Each structure stands twice: as C-alpha cells, then as structure tokens.
Structure 1
C-alpha cells in the first residue's frame, strides 16, 4: 500500500482495511473445463479498488484481466443511488470491480464501473467498454457470449451485443416504481437474492423479474447535519405493511414477453430461480408467513408452472445458497429440515444424517454434489465453530478435500474438476486459498491483505447444559494470580444469520482488542444463531427477546465457573441484533448486566422489515402481544443501568427512528442515557476517520460505568 501507516492503531487499521479484506482474493469462479479461475483482488498500491484477475490452473500464473484505473483513465468512480443501495444491501464497502459475471465458457467477463458496461476477454487479458444505456447495474453475459443483459437505474432491462453493435431495451417500466430485472429491497436484504434476471442455457431468452413497489409505504431518510439536502425517499416494507408486487416473465431477444404464472397471492415471495441444462427452470416461492413454500417448474415456452414439491413447516422455512437446483441428469437437489435434522436431499433420497448440519450447496456435477456443513447435534466431538466441505455421490458422503492448513472453517467453489478452497485457522490471519484438482495443489492464490497489529486468542467452549458455542478472550499477557478477576464484556450478535463463534482468526480481532483494554470478553452463539440444528435456530419463534437473552446469561454464568470473571462488573455491547440484545440486557436483567453499548438497535419490531420480522414474530395484526413483548419501548421505565445508544443517521435498514423512539421513551420516564448519533453513517461500519474514536468512546463509557 502507498499509504503511510506508521501511526496506525488497530481500530484505524481495521476500518481502513475493511476488516482486513482489502487485498484478500474473493469472488472466485472456475471455468467449466477447469482451465482457469477468475477472481477479484485489490493489488498493491490500489487501495480498496478491486481488479479482475485470472490464474492459469496449468501453470499457476496470475494475470490481471481488468484494471479499473486503466479503464476509467485514472478518474474517480461515480456511483448511482441504485448502485449505492445494492452495495448497502450486500454490505459491500470496497471499490473498483465489486462483482462480475461470466459467459458459459468463462472466456468473457462482464462488469460495471461508474454505471458503465465493460467486458474482459479472459483469453487475451484485455478489457473494453461496450455501448450501453446507463447508469446500469448487474450486467451478465449470455452463455454463448454473444450478448450482455443488464438493468438500468431507470428500471429497464436491456441487452447489448458483445461485438459492440445493437443495444436495445427488452422491457421498459410503464411508470415510476416499476423495475425490470432487479431484485426488490426485501429480496436483497433478507432473501439473499441480489439478482433479477436469468439467462436460458440456450441464450435465446431470459427469465426477468418485474417488481412494482407502488404498494410499499414511503419513508424519508434525512441528513440532519446538512439541512439544505433533500431527504432520500425509500420504499420500506415494514412488518405488517404491503410488500412490492413481484412477477416473473419470459422475454425473448426481440422483446417478446410471456408471463410466468403461479398463485402469487398465496405465494408472494419469489425466493429462488434456477435455470440450467438439467431441466426446466425452477422457482422457489414462499407464503408470506414462510411456513409453506413450493418448488415449481416453468414451461419455457408458455410460462405455465407445475408444482414439483410442496413443503410445510410448523415454524418457518429457511432459504439456503445453491438450492433448489438440478443435477445434470435431472434430479432435484434441495436442503430440507426433516426429523429435526437439516439435511441434503438429492432426487428422492436424503443423503445426510444427524451428524451434519447442512449449510449450503457449493456445486452440482455429473458425479457428485458438493456442500458445506457444520457439526449437527449428534456429533459431540467437533469443536465450536467448525465447518467443512463434503461430497455426496453414489458411494455416500465423505469429506471432499483438505489441504491440512485449516482447522475447520472452509468455503469453496468448484467446476471442471477444479476446486478453489479457502481455509481459515485460528492460528493465522486471513484465509489460505488453494486451487486443487482432487487433493493436488495446482496453485495458491496470493493475498495482499495487511497483517493485523494484534493477534486474536479465542478460547472455545461449549457453555452450560445447552452447550452454547462460546469464545472467551483474555487480555494479552494476563496472569490470573497477579491480575485477579476481570470485568466482563459480553460481545454478541446473538440472533438469526449471525454466527460469531467460528474457527478463524480475523472475525475475533475486535473482541481481542476489547479484551486487551482490560476485559474478559465473551462471544456466545445462543439459540437462534445458525450452524447447529433446526430446533436450535427455531427456538426463538415468537420470543426472540426471552430466548436469546436467557442464553447470554446462561453462557456467562457457566463460563464463570472456569474463567476469572467478576460477575459484579458485567457489560454488554453489540450492533444491529447485537445492539437490540445489549439494550434488552440492561433493561430486563439489571441484576446481571451493569452497562451496555447498543449500536443500531431494533427497538420496535413494527419498524423493521416484513420478511425478517414476520418470520420470527408473525404478522403484527395476528400477534400484537408478541410485538409488545419483544419491543424495547415499553421497557424504558425499567432502565437503571448506564446505556449508550449509537446509531447512523443515514441507516436505511434499521432506521434511526428506532433509537429516537427509545430515547424519547427513556426521557419521558426520566431515565438517564447517552445517545451518540453518527452523521452520514449507514448500517455498515462507520468511516475510517471516526472508527477509532468510536471504539475508544465505548471503552471509556464501559470502564467508567463499571467503576461507578
């Protein structure tokens, strides 16, 4: 890096390097013949700007395929509001090329820069701009490489030829609020579906989503620090209010359209779309309460759909990466909760058992299905936070590949007999990325990420009778006999989708930094967090507050039997759900928790979005008592412990109204508290220049509060 970092502290370094992801390789794709791997990585001296790279699997040679500084002539990036919103939904903080898509042969890559369309020839190692209407988002080549389809910020779906000729609109919105080929807010934020169109395997047509957000209520996000700026209008589907209306259409390359039909009133959520040569297009659609869902096939000519599988769950259905999908010989691949086990199903067979908790499908090949899994409740041998890669084939299920360089946290992509395997360890920063053919290492992809200024030393435990996965951090150089019991800082996320206890180094750095300020820090993944069993995740149904808070208390008390914890000085901090949990802790359990820092908390669940909130709490009209029981607002008069609330005023996910309403209720009840508003900050990590002081202010607040 060219920046002078001689005066770095850990908080500055952590913010500047985007949690040490700057310079680390990411976004891997393998050619179907296994000849090359494409990936993104910022280079030495390029700061946060990602370049597109390839590595030749025969020689191990890395080559730059596209450099945004060259393509933009050294100019700065200019992002549209739509692109900024997409990056906020995906928590993307880097610059340059942040995403790309390949044609079927992986010889052509398409990507957007400053709302303009670019294509890279991965054989020649050259890149060029293609004519396109802009600003645009999410360009994707056709499998045959002849066209690139893309969406525009004005809501159009368009295609352009890769030879530089005809660019035309396939679908144009008839009025404001309608978009073609883009995922709506709720799909991006909660369903992990960030795209809105899909090419046919024959490159002759597309499936395209049409989203109409006219029914969605409008909120306005103001910038109080700049009163001359107009508030930003957002369509926010809060719990109990209307969602965007989402349909799906088949569109040919001349613009001819055929609507895809299913019962959208009964199943309004378009959660997954899959189109491969293994069979007709697949849709996964969900009911609004997410207790019923259907997998349907689509006739690619008429648009008619046929029910393939109907699923019911008494609590809710989760969504998983990589499924549903077809095997090349036409068997359905899915992940299902059956008999208390999250299992992989291929065709009419369930192929995994209670020893594994399936997380995602990585790849489907002629011979096997590759998937990631953590240890199920039936396995009492593997440590907390372990996750591995497995292969299911005609011979059964077995570990897929191991390079002996990790202790359990693995992610992968696979095609053409080649796997890119990223393994993490608690013993070293970052991930080691190797390109493998079976167990033979073809190449190691270099990382330019900075080494952290400190070393995380997590001590993993299963805490208490429920065996709550936990990690404990003690100050560097701590001696129990010399230093005595430590004040405690609980540092959870503690809610759905947020596993914090993992067998890796970098995710624990902030917890170790807080420990080095003089705390015993505890991270506990209680019920509701992922990675263990369906029952563990679904135990929070209709009671997120009581269940998740109980597990923090139980983990604390169990770990105090082993570690030198001063239970008379216990603080808690967190962000987002962790912020909710922190405020909840001092409001409802002041006998256990003596101070809290609550960052971007949900305080009134009726202000949070539909798909997430209604999954866990039901519809507010049906269960108003559940919403009251899980809200923080009515608990405001109970506050008797120090509480600091931190919130970004530009947050369009957990809007600042959550903090303002809680603060107003606390003030009305005469309860002293501290509010720290962050001007111009969204739900993502604050900008570099305030990151250090934000952490130091938290430490100072917690130390003074516990001392008092």
Structure 2
C-alpha cells in the first residue's frame, strides 16, 4: 500500500509528526547572554544540531553539527543507548541531548557513542578521546571535568580530554553505575543516574543491580537466524532492581547514602544545588508514602525534611523537589482537593490552579505550569499556562489560549506557546534586550515581571500595566524549521456529560453540516496522557481521519491529568471507569453534534489500545469496531511502578487485575453479545508493552470463537518510528474502519 509523496500520511511520518526542525531543549545562560537549544536543519532532517542564540542581538549560530562531526558517516548506537532513547520516546538522530556547566560556557554531548564538547562562547567543538560507547555525558558545574557512562560504569575526564579514569565500575553484567533503571526512566521520569556536586568535587551516583529482576526474551520472528535478546522486566508483583546511591569523590572513593531502602525502595528524585544539602525523594513500593531526605555528603546519613502520605497514591512531578534560594523545600502536593505548590510547609496556591510542574525557582517567585481550577471561573478546556507564584499571589505569564511552557534563568525566559490557530509552537525569548538582524521581533509577547514581589491574580487581564501579561518589546523569536501540515484542524473544544468531561470534536473540512457521520473515538484516555489540548498539532491525525468521512471525538475522562487529584485517582483499582466516561461523553455530544450512534468505532495506542479492546468486548451495544494498538491486555504483564500505583499488587488485589483485564473478560465467551470487528496491532520488538499482550488476547478471542485481525509489525518498538510503517498504519486503519462500519 503506497501513497503520493506529498500525502499527509507520508509527510506526517517523514517529519515525525511535524516535530523535526522545531527548536527544543533550551538552556539559558545565567548572565542572560545566550540561549542554547537543539534543532535540526529542516522539517525532514532527523539529525539534531546544537545551536546558540546570542543575546541581546538575537543572532543564531550552530555550535555543533553532527554532519560535520561525523564526516558524513552514519550513526552507530549501542544497545544501551537505543534502550535509553526508547524510554524517553526519542525518535530523532544526531545530537538528541546535551548538558552544560553552570555558566553555560561548555556543552557536552554524545554522538554515535563518541564524546564531544562545545565551547559555546568561542563556537569551537572537539572530540575527547575516551572509551565508549558514551552515554549521558555531563560537565561539572565549574566546567573542568566531564562525567559519563561507558560499559555500565561511571567515568570522568578532564574537559580537555586529559586524565580519563573510572570512578565506579560494575561488579557484574547485571550492575550499572550512573544509569537510571528501567522503571525510573519509563515511569518516574528520572532518566539520569548521576548528579554533580555544586562544588564539582564529587558526585551522587546510582548503582543499579538488576539481578533480582525477571528476564524476558524479545525475539524477531522475521529473523530466525538471530538470537533473542533478554531484558530485565519488572512485571507487576515481581522483584524490582536494587537501587543504591553513593557519594563518589573524583579519586573513586565513595560513601553510601543510607535510608530505609526496605520500606522506601524507589529512588524517585535527586536534587543537588548550592541552596542546600543533596535532596532525595524516596517512595514506598505501594506509592502511598514518600520521604524527602536531606543527605550529609560527608557521612552518607540522611534526615527527613518532610513526609507525604495518601490513602490512594502519590504522584511525581517535574521540577520538584528542590530547594528555594533561601533553603526552603519546594514541592507539589494534593491538598484541599487541589494540586498545590508548597514552599516550606505553606501552600502558595489553592483551588484556582491545578499545578503540573515547577519550571524555575527564583529569589522572589516560583515559575510553574498549571491548568485553571474550576473555582477560577469558566473552564479553559485544553489550556495549560505559565504562572508566577510567590507569597503575595499568582500571576499568569503566558497570554492567549493555548498550551504554554517555559524555561527561565535570571532575567531571561524562553516561553514556548502552542495554540489552535497556528501550526507548531512559537518560541519567544523574553527579557533579552533589543533584537538585531539575526532575530525576529515578536509581534506580541509576554514579559516577565521583575523580582520585586509584584504579582497579580489569575483574574487580571493579560497586558494590564504592571502585570506579567504586558507585551515585552525586547522579545526575540527562535526560528522553527518545522514543516507546515498545510491544513488546520476543524476542532471544537467542549465538555460532555454530567461530569463535564473535556472533549474535542472534529468534523471533515468539507462537511456540509447536514447529515450525521460515522463516529471515531480517538482517545488515550488514561494516566499521564491528556489529549484534549488547545494546540493545533495535537489534532493532525484526528483531522486526517475526520477527512476520511468520520466525526472524530477525543475525550479525556477520569484518570487523565490536569483536572483535579480526585479526577485522576478515580481509576484506583478500576481502569474501566475510563470506558464509562468515553461512553458518557459520546452520548452527550450526540445531542448537539451530528453523530451517527449506529456506526461508532474506537482506535487507540497503548492505554488507548487497551481502551479500544475493552470497548468492543464489553460494550458492543455502543461500539461497532475497534483498533487496539499495542494494547495492555493483561495488567499482570505490565511494570511494577505504573501498574501497582493504580491497581495495587496482583497478590493482594487480584480482582482489580481481573476486572481490568481483556484476557479474563467474561464477555469473550458470551454467545448472546454481537461480535464486533477488532484489529490488533503490535510491534514485535516492543519492550514496554511486549507482544505477549496481543498474542494472549488473540488466543483468547480464538478460543471464544470471536473473529478478529492481527497486524504484527516486525522490528517495531512501542514508538513505531519507521516512516513507511507509520504511514501505512494510518492507511490500513482507515481501510479496516470503513469495512467494519459499512462505509464502502
């Protein structure tokens, strides 16, 4: 099956969802003189390059180009690096990550397993002669050294390549130093395994021993001559890796950091800054209790700074915990029915905001992203904004409907804004001085108020004098080379049902508004994955499906983030409420939108794939066809940290696992129910949701005499990054849906 070279499926795959060429991964120099970022040279170029924006002039210049550094040779990535990229869902090539010293004078990065450094002010780049393949190089804060991981051990070298040596070497093939274990990277959003001291004289280093973890084998049936490779996969109810932490000197001497690892085995966060002692966040296995611990780096002893408990579970958040410049603990907590920012023991926000992440902690405020709480007035469906918070109040920095985030240091803020009105994101550098010829002056922007303690409240209009919404004449735009999709989604953001479920409804571009259309639900629908966003590019695939003749509905029911803690925790021990909310939203939207409820299909990937399978098996009265992509069909086969947070342990809560499983579904063998068409799609190389999920579901369906289709994807992981496969997957899905719903 093929398409024209300029068709949407082909372009969508070639541009990696129109993300290639967009700037990302911003770092601001503390003196405000430059911003460092990654960007490929075109919207179809996968190879990221390192760039510098000089301020205040606004001139952009390349700091490191992978094509030059590799001399035209192709990349060669180690299995460890490939696994690391799979955990972070990194589909790019070239320079995909970097780290800098404290002054943002020196950057270090790995390229094809080799270690490079870039002098960001001088604009020179060089390779350091060290053993490889290199993973996650990080300069010391003073720029004198670079630490990195190679062959499972942590090493350090001088910034000029001198004095390379091992600081910690693995005692066996099951041990690594300086890397995050599988579930930390996959589920905790902790991708690092070592942290420099502010004085650059030692490091905190994680030691991971995978010996207790059960081994699974991932094979490629299309290549029978190749041996399967094994992965240490901690499935729900089975042992995790053993994680310890050491203070390690530059001569290799080390002191173990001590805490009750038996009770709190999860090392969820590590923070080390000059504002206080090293800070850890450790969690109990059931994730209902956690401790914030300050470390004495001389002795390895710890003291408790704060403890959290929750009868359901405790979430982890980006940017916290950390110390404020005055030495107070900064955290995000669930209090009073809201997700609040707390500094010390005092919450600084309330129900007016649902805080999502801490972006920066300054001497006078904290910068956060948040969704407006229900008590703030009319709901802002799909919007996420940047706010400044201090003891005097809350002020919104971002203006205009959309999804916003930021990076800030000192007086310079990089504000990244997406909206429904235009493709991609606009990146503005604020507080940067007058732009020169190399940078485009923003026609509209938002300034950041000075560190004076002056704040407004969420009800003040952006742009009012003295508020952070005031346009900043010094804003500079960072260019994006991302391709334009060539169309804009015809999307309506709304709410559905008595629960006011956030929804997006998409109609064909040429729809005449006079006849009901077959319906395609297109959800993720579960934890960590909001899909109803006030962002143009979030709906490109949904709009393409709509243009094939469907009314497409995207609904974020209970379990999805951003609304309230209670909304997210409603899936506790019962994922199936996600399906209840999809149905409620669908039936309510049909009252005001031309939806043909006699022809309803659902498609999804991962959690959304499980949801699609559940829909056609349990509610064939509502759903007439489904596409389950990489579905978690048996939650006992998914990992510990994620699954046990929501469903508990399979040993103590077997009924929760059975109720949310597709394999044990009593509806499989019920002859009275109509058998709805189901397509199961799964990558055979998936090491996150392994293909056993799809195979077990197919076997159960076959045993029950239920017709279905299985589409195995050879050599494909959970990301499906391959261009041709990603393109044809869209086409095959449309063909299946039209056949199943009688649209031909």
Secondary structure of 1:378's aligned partner: helix
Q: Could you say which residue in structure 1 is the equivalent of 2:508?
A: 475
Deviation at 1:697, TM superposition (A): 1.2
Deviations 1:511-563 (A, max 9, x none): 00000000000000000000100000000000002x10000000000100000
Deviation at 1:693, TM superposition (A): 2.0
Q: Is the 8 A contact 2:402 2:420 kept in 1?
A: no
Deviation at 1:380, TM superposition (A): 4.0
- Residue 211 (1) aligns with residue 201 (2): no
Deviation at 1:6, TM superposition (A): 7.8
Change (3 A) 1:307 1:116: same
Q: Could you say which residue in structure 2 is the equivalent of 1:530?
A: 561
Segments ≥4 residues shifted beyond 6 Å:
none
Q: Could you say which residue in structure 2 is the equivalent of 1:238?
A: 235
Q: Could you say which residue in structure 1 is the equivalent of 2:474?
A: 441
Deviation at 1:400, TM superposition (A): 2.5
Structure 2 residues not aligned, in runs of 5+: 432-447, 449-471
Q: Is the 8 A contact 2:373 2:379 kept in 1?
A: no
Instruction: State the TM-score, normalizing by the size of structure 2.
Output: 0.92
Secondary structure of 2:375's aligned partner: coil
Secondary structure of 2:176's aligned partner: strand
Deviation at 1:401, TM superposition (A): 4.5
Deviation at 1:607, TM superposition (A): 0.3
Q: Is the 8 A contact 2:156 2:167 kept in 1?
A: yes
Deviation at 1:382, TM superposition (A): 3.3
Q: Is the 8 A contact 1:377 1:533 kept in 2?
A: no
Deviation at 1:99, TM superposition (A): 0.2
Q: Could you say which residue in structure 2 is the equivalent of 1:96?
A: 94
Q: Could you say which residue in structure 2 is the equivalent of 1:581?
A: 611
Deviations 1:360-394 (A, max 9, x none): 00001112110010022323413211110011124
Please show how residues 194-343 of structure 1 align to structure 2 within 5 Å. Answer: 194-343=191-340
More off after superposition, 635-644 vs 159-168: 635-644
Q: Could you say which residue in structure 1 is the equivalent of 2:686?
A: 651
- In structure 2, what is the Cα distance between the partners aligned to 1:83 and 1:378? 45
Secondary structure of 1:192's aligned partner: coil
- Residue 543 (1) aligns with residue 574 (2): yes
- In structure 1, what is the Cα distance between the partners aligned to 2:272 and 2:600? 52
Q: Could you say which residue in structure 2 is the equivalent of 1:415?
A: 409
- In structure 2, what is the Cα distance between the partners aligned to 1:401 and 1:651? 38
Deviation at 1:72, TM superposition (A): 1.0
Deviations 1:145-183 (A, max 9, x none): 00000111x210000001221100000011111000000
- Residue 451 (1) aligns with residue 484 (2): yes
Q: Could you say which residue in structure 1 is the equivalent of 2:701?
A: 666
Q: Is the 8 A contact 1:420 1:433 kept in 2?
A: yes
The one of 478, 503, 512 equivalent to 2:543 is 512
Please show how residues 633-652 of structure 1 align to structure 2 within 5 Å. Answer: 633-635=663-665, 636-638=668-670, 640-652=675-687
The one of 16, 19, 30 equivalent to 1:18 is 16
Pairs aligned (count): 697
Structure 1 residues not aligned, in runs of 5+: none
The one of 592, 597, 620 equivalent to 2:627 is 597
- In structure 2, what is the Cα distance between the partners aligned to 1:555 and 1:656? 31
Secondary structure of 2:581's aligned partner: helix
Change (3 A) 1:294 1:44: same
Deviation at 1:600, TM superposition (A): 0.3
Deviations 1:314-348 (A, max 9, x none): 10000000000001110110000011110000112
Q: Is the 8 A contact 2:43 2:482 kept in 1?
A: no
Q: Could you say which residue in structure 2 is the equivalent of 1:78?
A: 76
Q: Give the superposed CA RMSD.
A: 1.2
Secondary structure of 1:189's aligned partner: helix
- In structure 2, what is the Cα distance between the partners aligned to 1:558 and 1:440? 46
Q: Could you say which residue in structure 1 is the equivalent of 2:39?
A: 41
- In structure 2, what is the Cα distance between the partners aligned to 1:559 and 1:239? 37
Deviation at 1:45, TM superposition (A): 8.3
Q: Could you say which residue in structure 1 is the equivalent of 2:462?
A: none
- In structure 1, what is the Cα distance between the partners aligned to 2:114 and 2:613? 44
- In structure 2, what is the Cα distance between the partners aligned to 1:386 and 1:420? 19
Deviation at 1:703, TM superposition (A): 1.1
